[in-house]
Amino acid sequence: MDFAVSETGSGSEDLTLLYDQYNGLRRRHAGFLGYPVNLAIDYRAFGELLDTLWITVGDPSTGYQPRLGLQPFEREVVRFLAKLSGARPDRTYGYVTSGGTEANLYGIHLGRQRLPEAPLYFGATAHYTVERTARLLRMEPVRIPCRRDGSIDPAALRAACVRRRGRGAVVVATVGTTVHGAIDSLPEVLDAIGPAGRHHLHVDAALGGLVAAFAPSPPPWGFDAGADSVAISGHKLIGAPVPCGVVLAREELVGSPAEVDYLSAADSTLSCSRSGLSVAFLWYALRQLGRSGLATRVHRCLETADYAVRALSRTGHRPWRHPASLTVLFERPPAPVCRRWRLATSDNLAHLVAMPHVTRDMIDRLCRDLG
């Protein structure tokens, strides 16, 4: 197949190539267990809506007359997620980002602005882009060892802060680490960073935050537990069909936005022009679900994760998961099984993530492959 972009352009066969890719993606859904994306989605109703440019610019604030009209949709997305995150929506700044990485970058950037000399502390199992963000913002990265379950070690964090006493601390706590699905204890983190002095606590809650919000015994994870900023993914549990995220922050930490005359807009975002389609997708998904629908989705996923632990136990692969996590860890199976089921692996471990599209039948078939 020829994917090259030519000098003269091409014809209708281009759509055939894209449909081939679409059909291949759909077929692979039947064996997609290892990554935290939600494949149980249906946005076909958007078909005719794609015949225009969906773009938004600047803050989704109420202080000006928007030319593009998406601000009310974005404000509602921010309001809904701020409330779930334990914040007061009327005192919370937020916007729809390109994904969790931009949301983390924004939260850490706020900490950098507040505490210019502070190092960036993060657990060894934090997302790999957190350390990259430290380099981008010219912060000292301090990688903290983790406990056996993958959560940050508070004793090691305190020791690191003692060695840098008084410099302040920008800290990333993770709610649902990439491999282990571990949840950093915010109360322990806040206690541990005391020797550093002033602090900014950013929470990477890309997947785990919304799970924690509806877990039977919710761990403290959001603004009501001491967070200053929070990142949530839009294409994971919520299920947008394109990568996107939402960043939330205490409004008083953001400061006065830049006024952009030619846009008639105020702008504190990192990206300026942003995907209006992501805004529309998130608003539509949350509008369809509501709080009760999102809670039902989380409970069903948690039940599937419990089922996976029981089923994998019978195969002798010694599964484990955090009670408020959808990630199930187990002994790494042979490579053909990992490929067939798209299992994420690290060292001698593999994991599956009980996302909304994952069924008990899929888990049973995985277990049969495991013998």
Per-residue pLDDT at 19: 84
Q: Tokens standing for 90?
A: 């009327």
Listed in sequence order, the residues at least 6 apart from 277 whose beta carbon sits closer than 8 Å to its beta carbon are: 50, 54, 242
- Going through 226-348 in order, the beta strands assigned E by DSSP cover 229-233, 245-250, 258-260, 265-267, 273-275, 327-331, 344-346
Q: Quick one: which of 298, 152, 326 has its CA closest to 213? A: 298
Q: Which residues of 322-352 are buried (b: 16+ CB within 10 A; e: fewer)?
A: bebbbbbbbebbeeeebeebebbeeeeebbb
From 233, 256, 325, 346, active-site residue: 325
- The position carrying tokens 């600047």 is 58
| Residue pLDDT, tens place only, 270-302 | 998 899 999 999 999 999 999 999 999 999 999
User: What's the gap between Cα 72 and its chain centre?
Assistant: 23
Model confidence pLDDT, tens digit, residues 175-197: 999 999 999 999 999 999 999 99
pLDDT bucket at 2, cuts 50 / 70 / 90: low
Distance CA 168, CA 201 (A): 11
| Per-residue tokens: 200 | 């900014």
Residue 257: Cβ within 10 Å count: 16
The CA distances from residue 315 to 48, 237, 295, 337, in Å, are 48, 28, 31, 14
Which two three-digit tokens encode residue 343?
């299992």
Q: Average model confidence (pLDDT) for the chain?
A: 92
The answer to whether residue 66 scores a pLDDT higher than 70 is no
∠ CA 267-269-270, nearest 5°, is 130
What's residue 360's pLDDT? 97
Look at residue 59 in the predicted model and tell me its pLDDT.
87
Inform me whether the pLDDT recorded for 65 exceeds 60: no
**pLDDT on residue 63:** 54
Whole-model pTM? 0.94
pLDDT at 64 over 60: no
Average pLDDT over residues 334-353: 95
Quote the pLDDT of residue 251: 95
Residue 8 pLDDT level (bands cut at 50, 70, 90)? low
Active-site annotation holds for 313: no
